């Protein structure tokens, strides 16, 4: 299995009602990401690229070095977990993207972050 296919991304989303202001078009979601390295060699997360889309089709792109101020080194068989937040103007939206990674042997690759839904509870059936 190559390094690209050996990085698994799991997501957990929470709607932050206390931070949101629906009347002002502000919906805030916390997302917890677990990045698991199932390869035979360590990998370092170098950068992130997010595409956040609300229900009106408004797209926000977020790019930058690392995640939450870190460029984690993930040994084989280990995982790195972090929590961050996103704000959109509608009660439903999506996020997807990629992490730029470098394997211990120097291979640069993108680990795809599968699309996931941001939704206020009881908005979707």
Residue 107 lies in a domain: yes
Residue 125 has pLDDT above 70, yes or no: no
Handedness of CA 101, 67, 24, 17 (dihedral sign): positive
- Per-residue pLDDT band for 12 (boundaries 50, 70, 90) equals very high
Q: Is residue 120 part of a domain?
A: no
- Residue 47 within any structural domain of the chain: yes
Q: Is residue 39 domain-resident?
A: yes
> Average pLDDT of the chain?
94
Give percent above pLDDT 90 in the chain.
Answer: 92
CATH number at residue 74: 2.60.40.1470
Give the count of domains, the chain.
Answer: 1
What separation in angstroms does the CA of 81 have from each of 100, 101, 117?
16, 15, 19
Q: Of the given ranges (1-10, 26-35, 83-92, 115-124), which has the lowest mean pLDDT?
A: 1-10
Determine phi and psi for 8, rounding to 5 degrees: -110, 135
**pLDDT value at 82 more than 80:** yes
Query: Does residue 82 sit within a domain?
Result: yes
pLDDT tier for residue 69 given thresholds of 50, 70 and 90: very high
Which residue range is the domain that position 92 belongs to? 3-113
Which of 88, 69, 82, 98 has the alpha carbon at shortest distance from 15?
88
> Does residue 16 form part of some domain?
yes
């Amino acid at each position: 299995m190559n390094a690209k296919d050996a990085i698994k991304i799991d997501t957990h989303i929470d709607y932050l009602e206390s931070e949101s202001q629906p009347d002002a078009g502000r919906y805030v979601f916390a997302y917890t990401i677990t990045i698991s390295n199932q390869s035979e060699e360590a990998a370092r997360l170098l950068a992130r690229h997010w595409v956040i889309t609300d229900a009106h089709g408004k797209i926000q792109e977020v790019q930058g070095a690392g995640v939450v101020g870190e460029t984690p080194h993930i040994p084989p068989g280990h995982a790195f977990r972090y929590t961050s937040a996103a704000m959109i103007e509608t009660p439903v939206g999506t996020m997807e993207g990629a992490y730029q990674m470098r394997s211990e042997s120097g291979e640069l690759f993108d680990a795809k972050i599968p699309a996931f839904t941001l939704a206020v509870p009881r908005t979707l059936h």
